[in-house]
Amino acid sequence: METTIQRADNQLVALFSGRLDTAAAQQTIQDVQPLLEAANTEIILDCKDLEYISSSGLRIFLTIRKEAASKGSKVIVRNISADIRQVFVMTGFISLFEIQ
């Protein structure tokens, strides 16, 4: 699992690549720490190269969303595959995030 964070205009973009499962979650939460610290900016979670997301990964997305909401910002999830969209639908996450 690889997480890359880039700043673009007034946004922070996190690019996820690989499998965001329980084994990768501990490192991923460390990797997304800059998002939590700058959550007053719009955050894009780009899942174009994300192959799988487990409940641990969903919990990380939810943590980012909660932190952004507490600072008056929003989180946009972009480029999710059909499989990951299905996970979002089944868990109700589809209504928690703006999906592009």
Fold of 2-99: Transcription Regulator spoIIAA (3.30.750)
Taking the C-alpha atoms of residue 19 and residue 11, their distance in angstroms, rounded to an integer, is 24
User: Measured between alpha carbons, how far is residue 48 from residues 3, 37, 38, 71, 81 in Å?
Assistant: 12, 24, 23, 26, 7
Hey, where are the domains in the chain?
2-99
Q: pLDDT digit string (tens) for 18-45?
A: 999 999 999 999 999 999 998 789 999 9
Q: How confident is the model at residue 57 (pLDDT cuts 50, 70, 90)?
A: very high
Query: Rounded to two decimals, what is the model's pTM?
Result: 0.94
Q: pLDDT digit string (tens) for 80-93?
A: 999 999 999 999 99
